[in-house]
Amino acid sequence: MSSITHTVAESYPMNGGDDPYSYARNSLFQRTAASAAKTVIDDAIAEKLDLEKIRSASDSTFRVADMGCSVGPNTFIAMQNIINAVQHKYQSQGLASHVPEFHVFFSDHASNDFNTLFTSLPPERPYFAAGVPGSFYGRLFPESSLHFVHASYALHFLSEVPAELLNKNSPAWNKGRIHYSGAPNDVARAYTAQFSRDISTFLDARAEEVTVGGMMVLIIPAIPDGIPHSCVPGGVLFDFLGLSLMDMAKEGLISEAEVDSFNMPLYATSAREMTELVAKNGRFSIDRMEMTAARSIMDGNPISGQACTMHLRAVVAGIISKHFGAEIIDELFDRFYKKTEEFSDQLESMYEKGTQICIVLKRI
């Protein structure tokens, strides 16, 4: 057996457990985003999943992987939706007696709270469950072993912060900011280049693991082509977070040097960019690509400063604590909340624009 190289990438786990600041309690946005993609997944499986090719190339087990699964319950909802659609596909083709057993792999970094994930597994689940620790920016599974890969709100996390952002002699040094929103073009280009490398690595690894005829559904925060990052909600929220950190630095609660050396490892792609990266890989076809507005995702519910604060805290508090220390978190998000409340009308209008992309890929 040849040796397998496992990629080491930065780990950004969501807040674990089940406390008021946990991801499990503050991931409604991701949950409703996944629900909005259900129709896309149902249609893709009904129209494009090649059962003949999959049945001839595998045993009687259908294998699904959720990459970047976090701690639930969103991953359980997504996996159930996929299995329901596959079962319906078999039944609609007169293959009800040939419906396979299902094996679901929940994959995330080893630092993910797998204990919370597995203690909350649905007791009546119609699948066998397993955990697979590791970075999806590298191989995780044997060759041609997967039939369906799902990744929702995971691929916008970069494998690492671009090195140029921390070099004072680089034109991409991001002094006084924590993100590329509103930053000089060199900073944005560094983020874009890192994302391109990461997605290329992701697609190369999945091309080895997904059997021919298998599928991937990727749900990724995105921006409409031609819209500046500073004009979409994610960009504005990171601007508010950066301003809150700089305010704390000016008051001596943290140092400016600490802020200058901190950058959020998150990137929002576009349809054009993803199309080019998939074409460059050459081993997947794009069966469907759809941009969805966050306003439709949230079913018209008002965008509140409190909801934005709790959501972002659950996602990035761990990243911030690792750099600045956990003791600043309460103060930081109190300040962030005040800024989001002050500009809630501005955020409200931005949420009308497309902010996520759902991509259906087929292994060719």
> What's the confidence (pLDDT) of residue 346?
72
How deeply is 77 buried, as exposed, middle or buried, from its count of CB atoms within 10 A (0-12, 13-18, 19+)?
A: middle
CA distance 168 to 170: 6
How deeply is 93 buried, as exposed, middle or buried, from its count of CB atoms within 10 A (0-12, 13-18, 19+)?
A: exposed
Q: Running DSSP on this structure, what letter comes out for residue 128?
A: E
CA distance 50 to 58: 12
**In this structure, what token pair is assigned to residue 6?**
């496992």
How deeply is 290 buried, as exposed, middle or buried, from its count of CB atoms within 10 A (0-12, 13-18, 19+)?
A: middle
**In this structure, what token pair is assigned to residue 307?**
């909801």
> What's the confidence (pLDDT) of residue 164?
96
> What's the confidence (pLDDT) of residue 338?
94
Phi then psi dihedrals of residue 38, to 5 deg: -60, -45
Domains of the chain: 28-363 (3.40.50.150)
DSSP string, 258-296: HHHT----B--B-HHHHHHHHHHH-SEEEEEEEEEEHHH
E strand or H helix at 210: strand 210-221
Residue ranges of the chain whose pLDDT lies below 70: 1-9, 11-31, 34, 57-58, 293-302, 348-354
Residue (of 287, 290, 312) closest to 222 by Cα position: 290
Q: Which residues contact 114 (CB under 8 A, 6 or more apart)?
A: 106, 108, 131, 133
Residue (of 104, 102, 103, 107) closest to 132 by Cα position: 107
Angle between helix 233-250 and helix 329-342 axes, rounded to 10 deg: 130
> What's the confidence (pLDDT) of residue 66?
98
CA distance 295 to 293: 5
Q: Where are the alpha helices (DSSP H) in the chain?
A: 28-36, 38-48, 51-57, 74-92, 114-119, 185-209, 233-250, 256-260, 271-281, 294-297, 305-324, 329-342, 344-350
> What's the confidence (pLDDT) of residue 296?
45
Cis-peptide, bond into residue 228, ω within 30° of zero: no
CA distance 67 to 135: 9
Q: Which residues contact 246 (CB under 8 A, 6 or more apart)?
A: 176, 256, 259
The upper half-sphere exposure of residue 160, i.e. CA atoms within 13 Å in the direction of its Cβ, equals 9
**In this structure, what token pair is assigned to residue 158?**
């970069």
**In this structure, what token pair is assigned to residue 337?**
């909340």
Length of the chain: 364
